Amino acid sequence: MPKRFPKEFKDDVVRVARSGKFTHEEIAHDFQISVASIRRWLDQANIDDGRKDGLTSAEQEENVRLRRENRRLEMENEILRRAAAYFAKDALPK
């Protein structure tokens, strides 16, 4: 599982990368992260700032929340469906 970094840390890395004073490799070495992380964080920051098209961080978080809620509701629905079938078979005349 990837390591999670605080938002403030990512913002600092993006700020340094945008300054243009250092290469991505130098920044990665100084902050002890991968170059791919820097590029990914820069892309997401550009999307969040409206410089690039794509899903913002808030939209991505909402999608995750809605998917989890949908999964929970589907499980609840399946439980209710099975309970209804169980009680319906007991109600059948013998």
Per-residue tokens: 16: 């340094």
Per-residue pLDDT of the chain (94 residues; tens, 9 = 90+): 677 899 999 999 999 999 999 999 999 999 999 999 999 999 999 999 999 999 999 999 999 999 999 999 999 999 999 999 998 887 766 6
- Structural domain that includes position 1: 1-54
Token reading at 13: 């890395």
Are residue 62 and residue 91 in the same domain, yes or no? yes
Work out the number of other CB atoms within 10 angstroms of the CB of residue 10. Answer: 19
Residue 41 sits in the same domain as residue 66: no
Q: Identify the pLDDT of residue 89.
A: 85
Q: Tally the domains of the chain.
A: 2
Residues 36 and 4 occupy one common structural domain: yes
The Cα 20–Cα 50 span in angstroms is 20
**pLDDT value of position 92:** 67
CATH number, domain of 39, equals 1.10.10
